[in-house]
Amino acid sequence: MPLLLLTVGLLGGVLLGQEALSPASLGALLADPGQPFARILLEWRLPRVLAAGCVGALLALGGAVFQGVFRNPLAEPYLLGSAGGAAVGATIGLLVPLSMPVTVTLPVLAFSGAWGATWLVLLLARTTSVAALLLAGVAVAAVLGAARSFLMLALSDETVSLQAVLAWTLGGVQTPSWRELAVLGGLTIVSFLLCRRLARGLDLLGLGEAVATSFGLEVRSFVRWAVLAGAFVVAVSVTWGGLVGFVGLVAPHLARWRSGPLHAALLPRAALIGAGITMFADGFARAVLPPAEIPLGLVTALVGGPFFLLVLAREAWRT
Amino acid sequence: MSVLEAHSVTWGVRARKLVHDVSISLRPGEVFGLLGPNGAGKSSLVRLLAGHVAPSSGCLTLDGTPLPSLPVRERAARIGYLPQQFTPHWDYQVQEILRLGLERSLNPHSTSALDHLAVAFDLGHLVGRRWSTLSGGERGRALAAAVLAPEPQVIIADEPAAALDIGQAAALMRRLRDHASRGAAVAVVVHDLNLAGRWCDRIGIMQQGRLLESGAAQSILRGATLDTAFGLAIERVDAADGSLVLAPRI
């Protein structure tokens, strides 16, 4: 299923758009790369689709790590304030005139915000108990949400700026250059390897803290590192894709249904599924209202919302 | 000679001492039973003995080495901990839990180790089953298999028979006894006095965080401290086969 979803997502992302392509015309374009539309495809649409795939894979990895750490299938990657932190960073980047171009300040500030907010949650929670982390996460998210609203009210004097902030928070992937895509691809691979190292610890944590401890896991330090690793992964995805909801919740679920709960199998599958879903959603976002694009986060929320309810109902039925 | 020793250990949460100045030693080949009413501090003492928490005063040693200084992985391989309750957060297959238990072993295990383990614990037909589909007895066996997989030197069990029927409880105690006969030191919290009398070599009675008395099982079960600790009279009957039968007068 993961490879099928990845293929469907990749094809959907490449074929859908302002100018929709049929699989046959895609084949013709690839056979003659000199055509003008083939260049658009290779220099614009394909890098963007691949960037969306990386963002989706990162969200899925972050979601799988946070679900594993909190031992809760409803945990999502933005749980510990990383979304709020990234949004504050992006708001500053978009609304405060700084000496550097916004293409530099926005990702740097969004990344710093996401990463910094998670550090703050860890410091405030003091322990690594699930309840303490969640409470600290909710408190930090609330304060950051208020801070973002204040910044938007205080700093914007043009509607355009507010629209830019709003568009960013609704999620969306910009077309990267091939060099930028290589950086994102590299960070995605690093993130995957980082998460892969957590696999056994996450498996043990799923047995409960007492048994995990007796099976040789240093629960406190492991949870701390896993949260920071998860936050890093989410921060990378937020930096490139804004706040794209539900992928990080849905992809690990689908992977778990098929592969079971062991993270060595779950993580790569979740990443492939997340990539497939996000690539397809990005194509859909470009195709549905041409020439305008609807925000990627809106598409994923439209699909993810009902799925979330399905998961809730399933959990309620199980318990 | 002792394997695991607790020297005057005290531990608590904030100002409340849950274990107060307790000293016990676990010896190879022996099953040590911990008895006492609810809230006596048995589970807290078990957490200390398993190395899950560090005492606020006193010390614990494993073969003379202070427990906190042992690498976590070595402690996990040498001390097996059987919890009172176990509900995994994910729906693992039996074989996945057995593998996680086997991976604690300090020595590399062969690929057939899992099969041997499953057969030894009568789990051969269950290895592919998910946890949620198992009965209480099957879960008890699967968990015991995972915990005992690396043949730990010390086994700490916290009311492992609490959720089991009499037959399953006796079978589990027999397994612990078997491990003791192969050289392991076993400490087990039990509520059933007759199970304790049948399977334990020595018994300690706890009340309000203190170890009131400890010694040879038969002598402790016949003594008045047991009645005092539980706050009721216990009738003792010598059965025809020489064993002691205990029945609280309610």
Query: What's the complex ipTM?
Result: 0.89
CB pairs under 8 A between A and B: 66
Residues 135-154 of chain B with CB under 8 A from chain A are 147
Residue of B52, B83, B100 with shortest CB distance to A203: B100
Contact A91, A151 (CB under 8 A): yes
Q: Where are the domains of chain B?
A: 4-248
In whole numbers, what is the pLDDT of chain A averaged over residues?
86
Contacts of A217 in chain B (CB under 8 A): 72
- DSSP labels, A57-98: HHHHHHHHHHHHHHT-TT--TTTTSHHHHHHHHHHHHHHS--
Contact A251, A229 (CB under 8 A): no
Identify the closest residue of chain B to A215 by CA–CA distance: B76
B104-141 pLDDT per residue, tens: 887 777 778 888 989 988 898 999 999 999 988 899 89
- Interface residue B67 vs chain A (CB under 8 A): no
Q: State the Cα angle at A181 between A179 and A184, rounded to 5°.
A: 115
pTM of the complete model: 0.88
Residues 13-72 of chain A with CB under 8 A from chain B are 71-72
Contacts of A262 in chain B (CB under 8 A): 92, 96
pLDDT at B178 > cutoff 90? yes
Contact A181, A51 (CB under 8 A): yes
CATH value at residue A114: 1.10.3470.10
Long-range pairs of A182-187 with CB within 8 A, sequence gap ≥ 24: A184/A51, A184/A54, A184/A55, A184/A236, A184/A240, A185/A50, A185/A54, A187/A54, A187/A58, A187/A236
Give me the count of residues in chain B.
Answer: 250
Quote the percentage of chain B above a pLDDT of 90: 60
- Interface residue A264 vs chain B (CB under 8 A): no
Residue A136: helix, strand or coil by DSSP?
helix
Residue B33: helix, strand or coil by DSSP?
strand
Q: Which residue has the higher pLDDT, A151 or B27?
A: B27
Contact A132, A61 (CB under 8 A): no
* Token code pair at residue B139: 């879960």
**Would you call the peptide bond into A291 cis, given omega within 30 degrees of 0 as the criterion?**
yes
- Interface residue A211 vs chain B (CB under 8 A): yes
What does the pLDDT read at residue A288? 84
Residue of A71, A210, A216 with shortest CB distance to B89: A71
Q: How far apart are CA A234 and CA A188, in angstroms?
A: 10
Average pLDDT over residues A294-303: 88
Q: How far apart are CA A86 and CA B124, in angstroms?
A: 51
Minimum distance, in Å, between the CA of residue A208 and any CA atom of chain B: 6
- Interface residue B93 vs chain A (CB under 8 A): yes
φ, ψ of residue B35 in degrees (nearest 5):
-115, 160
What does the pLDDT read at residue A166? 80
φ, ψ of residue A123 in degrees (nearest 5):
-65, -40
In whole numbers, what is the pLDDT of chain B averaged over residues?
90
Identify the closest residue of chain B to A199 by CA–CA distance: B100
What does the pLDDT read at residue A158? 63
pLDDT band for A160, please (50, 70, 90 cuts): low
What does the pLDDT read at residue A90? 84
A206-238 pLDDT per residue, tens: 999 999 999 999 998 999 899 889 888 988 898
Residue A5 is assigned to a structural domain of this protein: no
Q: What is the largest CA-CA distance in chain A?
A: 64
pLDDT at B203 > cutoff 90? yes
Contacts of B132 in chain A (CB under 8 A): 318
Expressed in angstroms, the distance from the first to the final Cα of chain A is 28
Range of the domain at A198: 51-318
What does the pLDDT read at residue A313? 81
What does the pLDDT read at residue A318? 67
| Candidate CATH numbers 3.40.50.300, 3.40.50.2300, 3.20.20.60, 3.40.50.920; the one for domain B4-248 | 3.40.50.300
pLDDT band for A159, please (50, 70, 90 cuts): low
pLDDT at A99 > cutoff 90? no
Q: Which residues of A73-110 are buried (b: 16+ CB within 10 A; e: fewer)?
A: bebbbbbbbbbbbbbbbbbbbbbeeeeeebeebbbebb
Q: How far apart are CA B17 and CA A196, in angstroms?
A: 41
A64-94 pLDDT per residue, tens: 999 999 888 878 877 778 888 888 988 888 8
- DSSP labels, A221-275: HHHHHHHHHHHHHHHHHHHHH----SHHHHHHHHHHHHH-S-HHHHHHHHHHHHH
Identify the closest residue of chain A to B150 by CA–CA distance: A215
What does the pLDDT read at residue A55? 95
- Interface residue B127 vs chain A (CB under 8 A): no
Minimum distance, in Å, between the CA of residue B220 and any CA atom of chain A: 30
CB within 8 Å: A210 and B97: no
Contact A234, A61 (CB under 8 A): no
Residue A21 is assigned to a structural domain of this protein: no
Q: Which residues of B47-73 are buried (b: 16+ CB within 10 A; e: fewer)?
A: bbbbbbeebeebebbbeeeebeebebb
What does the pLDDT read at residue A122? 84
Contact A254, A1 (CB under 8 A): yes
Residue A35 is assigned to a structural domain of this protein: no
Expressed in angstroms, the distance from the first to the final Cα of chain B is 40
pLDDT at B101 > cutoff 90? yes
Looking at A37-41, A216-220, B38-42, B206-210, which range is the least confident one?
A: A37-41
Residue of A205, A217, A261 with shortest CB distance to B92: A261
Contact A229, A64 (CB under 8 A): no
What does the pLDDT read at residue B22? 95
| Cα–Cα nearest to A172, from A307, A299, A272, A50 | A299
Contacts of B97 in chain A (CB under 8 A): 207
Q: How far apart are CA B52 and CA B9, in angstroms?
A: 14
Contact A273, A1 (CB under 8 A): yes
CB within 8 Å: A215 and B101: yes
A235-290 pLDDT per residue, tens: 889 888 888 988 998 899 889 987 899 999 999 999 999 999 999 999 999 888 87
Q: How far apart are CA B101 and CA B150, in angstroms?
A: 7
Average pLDDT over residues A151-176: 79
Identify the closest residue of chain B to A204 by CA–CA distance: B100
The count of domains in chain A is 1
pLDDT at A21 > cutoff 80? no
Q: Which of A67, A72, A207 to mutate to test the interface with B (most CBs of B within 10 A)?
A: A207
Average pLDDT over residues A141-147: 91
